[in-house]
Amino acid sequence: MGELALLRWIRARLGRRDGRILVDSGDDAAVLRFGRSQVLFKTDSVIDGVHFDSRTARPEAIGHKAIARCLSDVAAMGCAPSFAVVAMMIPRQAREAYIRRVMLGLERTARAFRTSIVGGDIAGHRGKLALSVALLGETRGRPPVRRGGARVGDALLVTGPLGGSILGKHLRFTPRVREGLELNRRFKLHAMIDLSDGLATDLGHLCEESGVGAVVRESQLPIAPAARRLARKDGVSPLRHAISDGEDYELLFAIPRAEAPKVVRSGLGRVIGEIGPPPRRSGGGFGRAGGPAKAVSLLRRDGRLEPLPQSGWEHRFRR
Amino acid sequence: MGELALLRWIRARLGRRDGRILVDSGDDAAVLRFGRSQVLFKTDSVIDGVHFDSRTARPEAIGHKAIARCLSDVAAMGCAPSFAVVAMMIPRQAREAYIRRVMLGLERTARAFRTSIVGGDIAGHRGKLALSVALLGETRGRPPVRRGGARVGDALLVTGPLGGSILGKHLRFTPRVREGLELNRRFKLHAMIDLSDGLATDLGHLCEESGVGAVVRESQLPIAPAARRLARKDGVSPLRHAISDGEDYELLFAIPRAEAPKVVRSGLGRVIGEIGPPPRRSGGGFGRAGGPAKAVSLLRRDGRLEPLPQSGWEHRFRR
């Protein structure tokens, strides 16, 4: 079973037993009601050898990434982060100065996004460095933007260029908290998600949750310089990198087509395609065998329409 | 530097920049204000080889322990748990059925304490199984009980017998959520903490935060049968096990002496000693070199007064 299947199994079991769960674990963050407040709740981890390489990454960057991934999820709902707790698993041989630098990186990024770290747990172990961050967020006048609200005819936009993050951006990215808040405040967002698993995968999530399809136009897709540099090294096209690489942490969002020019003029996003009808359900449909294939397409410069290639990257466990 | 020193360093850096942080990381859980609601926020981890041994522990028990430790912290403030998120780090060779059993154990305990799991993150890695749980809690009419409110003359009580948890209780314990809520509702609690690091250590925390000392009476200390069984194996006295062993997850609390008989009659606790004046500050004082030594004493059956022996168990990192 892969990670996604396991997550789906867990999600199906959890259900919604509590009327105060406004949004459950299927979105970027859960949204909970406490009195009149809507509180976002999210956890995420980074592990040495999976999300960073401690032989090359600066310790401050590890701390940054640990919290910035959660910040990005709150940004993807157009909300503001507020409080975090951090669980650290520390190799027994780790040096104190090293751990302090990890914490300083974490703290600096938290402060930059007005987030207070209010608790933590530290455990030494005979393993690698790992950090789990749990983050609370809150609405700022506007309701959280879900993944599932995209409508046929919406314009599809991103906040920045994509691809090649493995060359460095995955450790240094700026979570789009300010952009997410401003987009939610100024525009009528129908759906939003952050690009952690790559455009193809995350656009697939957005389409699946919204019950729609989408077309991305090659001619409009902003390709990061890093994607071109990586392409020169590995022979995979820059386009493919922009589509499939994970960890850009830009926001992907759907808005009414008429609003798109205003967003573009504001500098908060650029159009990369549009939302279309859902794929025909030939005995399958979303979530069934075969999955949501062909829900998202790529319109090439020469006019050909292709399925958006999936990265296919997913943890797998033994049966 | 040890774990405690690192935690202190982190705590000192965090400060209280936000007026909505009612209680910071120095207590069992942080308490945050969202609108009119007070929200408790806590994280804790369990790691294979540190908090459980995957060769002998049932997977359901691992899931139970992962969330029950957080539940115990919310219980220690006399509050109710409400929502949790779970970050799992899973060995690449783990079997699906095994992970499901861990999740089932976690879920069952969450449900038993009316806690909804609203999110999670799963990452496969080349390491051991580890789970980080972050928990939200809330007040039930009464404010959270802090560690720092014990007063000279208070009676000192525990909810159950102590020692020898390593023989099994550390994986199976019942977090004292119901007891904590009922104690907070019915009695005037001055201070409370859960016994995760052992009576000597945690009573030390309570005294340090309260600026008091304490005396524990050997004649009143309830010693768990497991402490006696363990004593027969390792030659350490049952008394010493009851004082020093960690992971009993009973609640330790201080209340006005006049209320103690009512608590005892209610079956919610038994008296083990009393709060006394703080130790004389001979150039040191709490938190300085030398630490809070002699703040807590043990009155032996023969009338001798001894320092309560510290377990001294703490993770240490290289300088």
**Which chain B residue has the Cα nearest residue A135?**
B134
3-state secondary structure labels for all residues of B113-153: CCCEEEEEEEEEECCCCEEEEEEEEECCCCCCCCCCCCCCC
Distance from CA of B226 to the nearest CA of A (A): 26
Torsion of CA B46, B49, B55, B57, to 10 degrees: -30
Contacts of A70 in chain B (CB under 8 A): none
What is the reported pLDDT for A24?
81
Q: Which residue from B43, B100, B123 is facing A121, i.e. has the nearest CB?
A: B43
Chain A partners of B315 at a C-beta cutoff of 8 Å?
Answer: 90, 92, 122-124
pTM score of the predicted model: 0.92
Residues of chain A with pLDDT under 50: 1, 283-293, 312-319
Q: Do B132 and A87 touch (CB under 8 A)?
A: yes
3-state secondary structure of A50: coil
A101's CB contacts (< 8 A; 6+ apart) are A58, A59, A60, A63
Q: Is the pLDDT confidence value at B251 over 70?
A: yes
Tokens linked to A227: 């994607």
Q: Is B289 a residue whose pLDDT tops 80?
A: no
Which residues in A lie closer than 8 A to residue B76 (C-beta atoms)? none
Q: What is the ipTM of this complex?
A: 0.91
- Report DSSP state, residue A40: E
Q: Which residues of A touch B108 (CB under 8 A)?
A: none
Output the CA–CA distances (angstroms, integers) from residue B91 to A179, B66, B88, in the order listed: 37, 17, 10
Look at A24-28, B161-165, B242-246 and tell me which has the smallest mean pLDDT.
A24-28
Q: Which of A116, A131, A316 to mutate to test the interface with B (most CBs of B within 10 A)?
A: A116
Whether residues B103 and A315 touch (CB distance < 8 A) is answered with no
Length of chain A: 319
Domains of chain B, each with CATH number or no CATH = 11-138 (3.30.1330.10), 155-307 (3.90.650.10)
Q: Out of A39, A123, A128, whose CB is closest to B50?
A: A123
* pLDDT at residue B10 in the model: 72
Q: What is the pLDDT of residue B311?
A: 61
Q: Is pLDDT above 50 for B25?
A: yes
pLDDT given for residue A315 in this prediction: 45
Residue A167: how many other CB atoms lie within 10 Å: 17
Mind telling me how many Å the CA of A281 is from chain B's nearest CA?
29
Question: Which residues of B are less than 8 Å from A36 in CB distance?
Answer: 35-36
Longest dimension (CA), chain B: 59
More confident residue, A92 or B6: A92
Q: So what's the pLDDT on residue A16?
A: 55
| B37 DSSP β-pair partners | B34
Query: What pLDDT, on the 0 to 100 scale, is given for residue A309?
Result: 80
Among chain A residues, CA nearest to B8: A120
Q: Which residues of A touch B36 (CB under 8 A)?
A: 35-36
Confidence of residue B259 (pLDDT cuts 50, 70, 90): very high
Distance from CA of B153 to the nearest CA of A (A): 31
**Smallest Cβ distance to B32: which of A83, A93, A121?**
A83
Q: Is the predicted pLDDT of residue B110 greater than 60, yes or no? A: yes
Tokens of B124: 């496969």
B229-259 in b/e burial notation, b at 16+ Cβ within 10 A? ebbeeeeeebbbbbbbbbbbbbbbbbbeeeb
What does the DSSP assignment read for B173-195? PPP-HHHHHHHHHHS---EEEE-
Distance from CA of A54 to the nearest CA of B (A): 14
Chain A closest CA to B137's CA: distance in Å? 10
Please name the helix (run of DSSP H) or strand (run of DSSP E) that holds residue A150, with its range, or none.
none
Average pLDDT, chain B: 90
Measured CA to CA, the distance from residue A50 to residue A56 in angstroms comes to 13
Q: Is the pLDDT of residue B241 over 80?
A: yes
Q: Do B317 and A99 touch (CB under 8 A)?
A: yes
A19 versus B265: the higher-pLDDT residue is B265
Neighbours of B36 (CB within 10 A): 9
- Sequence-distant (≥ 6) Cβ neighbours of residue B183 within 8 angstroms: B78, B189, B192, B251, B253, B263, B268, B269
Given an 8 Å threshold on Cβ–Cβ distance, is A89 in contact with B25?
no
| Nearest residue in A to B35, CA atom | A37
Q: How far is A10 from chain B (nearest CA, A)?
A: 8
Say whether pLDDT at B299 is over 70: yes
Between chains, do A92 and B126 touch, taking CB under 8 Å as contact? no
Query: 């209010």: which residue's tokens?
Result: A118
Query: Rounded to a whole number, what is the distance in Å from the CA of B312 to chain A's nearest CA?
Result: 15
CA-CA distance, B120 to A26, in Å (whole number)?
10
